[in-house]
Amino acid sequence: MGHVRFVAVHPDHRRRGLGRALLGAAEEWVDSQGGGEVRAGGEAPFYLWPGVDVARTGALCLFEAAGYHDDGAVLNLSCPSSFRADPPEGVVLRRVPDRAASAGVAELVARHWPHWRPELERAVDRGGCVAAVAAEDGRVLGFGCHSVNRAGWVGPIGTDPEAGGTGVGSAVLGSLCGELEAAGHARAEISWVGPIGFYVRAAGASVSRVFQGRVRR
C-alpha cells in the first residue's frame, strides 16, 4: 500500500492538468514498488492528514476524477486550550521528559495500543507527553501526547481500561491543553478522533475538520 501525503498546485497554474500529472507520478512510483493500493493521506503513524480535507473542494475533485473511491470519513474535534480537569484522588500527573522516564507509559501502550508506540516515542523526543500515575504504586493509568505530527494537535491519548470512567482521561487532556495554551494555541486540535462522546462531554469539544478517505485499488 502507498500513500499520497500532499499534492499542491499554485493557484495561478491550476486547471492545466498539473495536479493530475503529479498524482499520476506518485501512483507510478507506488506501482513500481509493488504497492498496489494507493490512499490519499492517512499514512499512520506519522501522517500529515487523516484523509482529504472536505473543505478542499479541488482536492476532492482531483481524487474523484482519478478514480479514487470514497472510503469513509474521519473527524477532528477541537476544544479550548483553557480546559482543565483535576485528576482523581490518588492520581498525579507527570510530564514524561525523556525515553528513560517513559517505560511505564510504553508498557501501557504495548498492552493496549501497540500501533501507537512510534507516535509515543516521537512525542517524548519532540513533542509533549503526560502520564497519569497512581501515587501509591507508580502504576501508569493513562497518558496523552501532543504535537507529534503537527504542532497543537492532540493524540494519541488513552486510559488503562481498568481506570476508565474515573476522570483520568479528562485530567490528562486538561494537562495537554495547559501545555498548548502556554505555547500560544487558543484551541487544542484533537486529531483522528475515536471516542467522540468523551471529548464532547469532558471538554465541550466540537467538530473542527472532516476528512474523507479516498483510495485507489
> Averaged over 51-76, what is the pLDDT?
94
Domain shared by 169 and 143, yes or no: yes
Q: Which residue type, as a one-letter code, is found at position 51?
A: G
| Count of beta carbons in the 10 Å neighbourhood of residue 127 | 19
Give the separation between CA 116 and CA 99, rounded to whole angstroms. 15
- Residues of the chain with pLDDT > 90, as a percent, come to 90
Whether this model's pTM surpasses 0.75? yes
Give the separation between CA 205 and CA 217, rounded to whole angstroms. 35
pLDDT band with cut points at 50, 70 and 90 for residue 116: very high
Least confident of 32-36, 145-149, 179-183: 32-36
Q: State how many domains the chain has.
A: 2
Q: At 28, which CATH number? A: 3.40.630.30
Note the pLDDT of residue 193.
86
Q: Is residue 199 part of a domain?
A: no
Give the separation between CA 144 and CA 163, rounded to whole angstroms. 14
Q: Is residue 203 part of a domain?
A: no
Contact 141, 45 (CB under 8 A): no
> Averaged over 126-141, what is the pLDDT?
95
Domain shared by 157 and 116, yes or no: yes
> Averaged over 173-182, what is the pLDDT?
98
Return the C-alpha torsion angle 112, 114, 116, 119, nearest 10: 130
Domain shared by 62 and 99, yes or no: no
Note the pLDDT of residue 188.
98
Contact 80, 212 (CB under 8 A): no
Domain shared by 103 and 172, yes or no: yes
- The domain of 132 spans 82-185
The rounded mean pLDDT for the chain is 95
> Averaged over 49-65, what is the pLDDT?
94
